[in-house]
């Protein structure tokens, strides 16, 4: 009798944890991803600010499952689901399944303004991080060559849109790059003159945090030189500026470097799956699932992670954070094992292990249960937790060294400008004269 074949779509936190948790189950697993590596996204902003290299936070999927013979890794792009014949359709083939776990994650939401993406890139993949790094460093280079103060100022203005943990961490790291890491490296400009503006539409940054803690976080950012603008909406993004609206006041901020850290939209595979299974989607495109994370009417199809719309005990949707994906991936693996054993299965229950966000060198905000921490201790705790969850021993060693290094110095080892595209201009500025 053939072993049950479980196909997992997505090699992020949800998919990898599901596959790893099936290690001892009498099943065959195929993990499909269109990239060859698992990315530790919580540390991605550190690649964007030159503190880590991509390889420090990414693990080739094959290496993760090298010693797990019941897992096969396939590099491929999923284009559809044939639910009748039980096959996952790829751009160049198909993979049959007995059970399907869709963990395709989420991307960024530009709220209908997708054309903003070119000038306000998101921070989701290694390429995103490297592009942001390139733009940030190039901005300082362009400022150094600026012919007049207004041009210099525009190049030394950085806008981060979105005041959740990603935006906050990005802003803090950027402030540190400008005020510390690049100090003394320029002659015509003082990098510490850089203005970093963090734009948040709600009334406070870190809205999922205790308000008092979030306030302390905002104060820490301001102290580092970040200008925090809450209750400000972005209404336009161009290669030269960002337009903010606060109540009736409209402000045009001249800038050439914008990072998008606001709004999450589920992977397009959510819609593809919904059409194939008659499932429903929420406003962000996430698939509404049963308490056991299965798709209604399809007890052999599950959705976990950012792609799933699940509720906590008080009926609120769970956030799209790594912890949720990790726990859901493990849950589904356990559910499948229980089924094989004929044991009853309980609904998924999320156990929050707290939230933490790094504000800059040696400051972080942490809330775990009723514990609230801000400052150096929180900063160390932040590193410890992130290290624990980082896959791969080599990665942990390198990142541990970076943690130690950054405790003693302001130096950032990976402040390189590398080009994505050979046809880009040699000097990494923007071809302003050709863009409207």
Active site residue ranges:
169
Stretch that binds a second copy, among 103-111, 134-142, 205-213, 314-322 (CB under 8 A): 134-142
Tell me whether residue 66 or residue 115 sits nearer to a second copy (CB atom). 66
Residue 398 lies near a second copy (rule: CB under 8 A): yes
Stretch that binds a second copy, among 34-42, 213-221, 371-379, 381-389 (CB under 8 A): 34-42
Q: Which two tokens stand for residue 79?
A: 């284009």
Among 236, 384, 397, 435, binds a second copy (CB under 8 A): 397
Tell me whether residue 235 or residue 394 sits nearer to a second copy (CB atom). 394
Provide φ and ψ at 4, rounded to 5°.
-65, 135
Beta carbon of residue 325, minimum distance to a second copy (angstroms, whole number): 21
Stretch that binds a second copy, among 58-66, 265-273, 291-299, 349-357 (CB under 8 A): 58-66
Beta carbon of residue 257, minimum distance to a second copy (angstroms, whole number): 15
CB 29 within 8 A of CB 72: yes
Tell me whether residue 110 or residue 302 sits nearer to a second copy (CB atom). 110
Tell me whether residue 33 or residue 306 sits nearer to a second copy (CB atom). 33
Residue 404 lies near a second copy (rule: CB under 8 A): no
Residue 80 lies near a second copy (rule: CB under 8 A): no
Task: Please state, in angstroms and rounded to a whole number, the distance separating the CA atoms of residues 105 and 119.
Answer: 23
Residue 196 lies near a second copy (rule: CB under 8 A): no
Residue in 310, 53, 320 with CA at minimum distance from that of residue 166:
320
The interface mask with a second copy, positions 144-183, x = CB under 8 A, is: xx------------------------------------x-
Among 5, 23, 55, 146, binds a second copy (CB under 8 A): 55
Beta carbon of residue 384, minimum distance to a second copy (angstroms, whole number): 21
Residue 34 lies near a second copy (rule: CB under 8 A): yes
Task: Please state, in angstroms and rounded to a whole number, the distance separating the CA atoms of residues 372 and 435.
Answer: 47
Task: Please state, in angstroms and rounded to a whole number, the distance separating the CA atoms of residues 365 and 207.
Answer: 13
Among 1, 112, 187, 434, binds a second copy (CB under 8 A): 187
Q: At which residue do the structure tokens 């390889």 appear?
A: 55
Q: Which two tokens stand for residue 146?
A: 């600026």
Can you name the residues that pair with 88 across neighbouring β-strands? 81, 95
Residue 35 lies near a second copy (rule: CB under 8 A): yes
Beta carbon of residue 288, minimum distance to a second copy (angstroms, whole number): 27
Among 6, 16, 44, 73, binds a second copy (CB under 8 A): 73
Residue 185 lies near a second copy (rule: CB under 8 A): yes
Instruction: Looking at residues 366 to 395 of the shown chain, list those that interact with a second copy (rule: CB under 8 A).
Output: 394-395
Stretch that binds a second copy, among 49-57, 168-176, 299-307, 321-329 (CB under 8 A): 49-57
Give the 3-state secondary structure of the chain: CCCEEEEEECCCHHHHHHHHHCCCCCEEEEEEECCCEEECHHHHHHHHCCCCCHHHHEEEHHHHCCCCCCEEEEECCEEEEECCCCEEEECCEEEECCEEEECCCEEECCCCCHHHHHCCCCCCCHHHHHHHHHHHHHHHHHHHCCCCHHHHHHHCEEEEECCCHHHHHHHHHHHHHHHHHCCCCCCCCCHHHCEEEEECCCCCCCCCCCHHHHHHHHHHHHHCCEEEECCCEEEEECCCEEEEEECCEEEEEECCEEEECCCEEECCHHHHHHHHHCCCECCCCCEECCCCCEECCEEEEEECHHHEECECCCCCECCCCHHHHHHHHHHHHHHHHHHHHCCCCCCCCCCCCCEEEEEECCEEEEEECCEEEEEHHHHHHHHHHHHHHCCCHHHHHHHHHHHHHHHHCCCCCCCCCCCCCCCCCCCCCCCHHHCC
Among 104, 126, 307, 364, binds a second copy (CB under 8 A): 126
Beta carbon of residue 389, minimum distance to a second copy (angstroms, whole number): 18
Tell me whether residue 387 or residue 398 sits nearer to a second copy (CB atom). 398
Stretch that binds a second copy, among 73-81, 101-109, 230-238, 309-317 (CB under 8 A): 73-81
Residue 96 lies near a second copy (rule: CB under 8 A): no
Tell me the site size for a second copy, rule CB under 8 A: 58
Residue 435 lies near a second copy (rule: CB under 8 A): no
Those residues with Cβ within 8 angstroms of residue 153's Cβ, 6 or more apart along the chain or in another chain: 195, 254
Tell me whether residue 151 or residue 352 sits nearer to a second copy (CB atom). 151
Binding region for a second copy (CB under 8 A): 34-37, 50, 53-56, 58, 60, 62-63, 65-67, 72-77, 91-93, 126-127, 130, 137-138, 141, 144-145, 182, 184-187, 394-395, 397-398, 401, 405, 411, 413-422, 426-428
């Amino acid at each position: 009798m053939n072993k049950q074949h479980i196909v997992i779509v997505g090699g992020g936190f949800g998919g990898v944890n599901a596959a790893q948790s099936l290690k001892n189950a009498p099943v065959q697993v195929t993990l499909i991803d269109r990239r060859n590596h698992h990315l530790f996204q919580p540390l991605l902003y550190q690649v964007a600010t030159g503190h880590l290299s991509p390889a420090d936070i990414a693990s080739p999927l094959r290496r993760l499952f090298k010693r797990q013979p019941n897992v096969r890794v396939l590099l491929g792009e999923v284009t559809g689901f044939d639910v009748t014949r039980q096959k996952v359709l790829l751009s160049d083939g198909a993979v049959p399944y007995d059970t399907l776990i869709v963990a395709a994650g989420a991307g960024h939401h530009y709220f209908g303004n997708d054309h903003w993406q070119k000038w306000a890139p998101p921070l989701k993949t290694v390429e995103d991080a490297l592009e942001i790094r390139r733009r940030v460093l190039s901005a300082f280079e362009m400022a150094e060559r600026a012919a007049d103060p207004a041009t210099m100022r525009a190049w030394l203005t950085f806008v981060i849109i979105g005041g959740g943990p990603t935006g906050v961490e990005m802003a803090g790291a950027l402030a540190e790059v400008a005020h510390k890491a690049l100090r003394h490296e320029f002659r015509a400009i003082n990098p510490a003159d850089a203005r970093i503006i963090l734009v948040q539409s709600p009334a406070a940054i870190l809205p999922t945090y205790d308000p008092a803690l979030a306030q302390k976080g905002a104060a820490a950012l301001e102290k580092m030189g970040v200008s925090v603008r809450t209750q400000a909406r972005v209404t336009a993004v161009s290669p030269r500026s960002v337009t903010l609206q606060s109540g009736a006041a409209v402000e045009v901020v001249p800038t050439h470097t914008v990072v998008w850290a606001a709004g999450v939209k589920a992977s397009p595979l959510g819609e593809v799956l919904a059409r194939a299974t008659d499932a429903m989607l929420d406003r962000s495109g996430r698939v509404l699932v049963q308490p056991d994370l299965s798709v209604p009417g399809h007890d052999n199809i599950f959705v976990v992670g950012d792609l799933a719309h699940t509720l906590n005990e008080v009926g609120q949707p769970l956030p799209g954070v790594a912890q949720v994906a990790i726990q859901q991936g493990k849950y589904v693996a356990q559910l499948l094992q229980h089924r094989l054993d004929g044991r009853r299965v309980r609904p998924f229950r999320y156990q929050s292990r707290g939230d933490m966000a790094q504000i800059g060198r040696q400051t972080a905000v942490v809330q775990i249960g009723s514990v609230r921490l801000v400052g150096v201790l929180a900063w160390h705790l932040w590193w410890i937790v992130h290290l624990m969850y980082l896959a791969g021993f080599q990665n942990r060693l390198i990142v541990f060294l970076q943690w130690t290094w950054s405790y003693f110095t302001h130096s950032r080892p990976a402040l390189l400008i590398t080009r994505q595209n050979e046809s880009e201009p040699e000097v990494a500025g923007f071809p302003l004269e050709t863009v409207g």
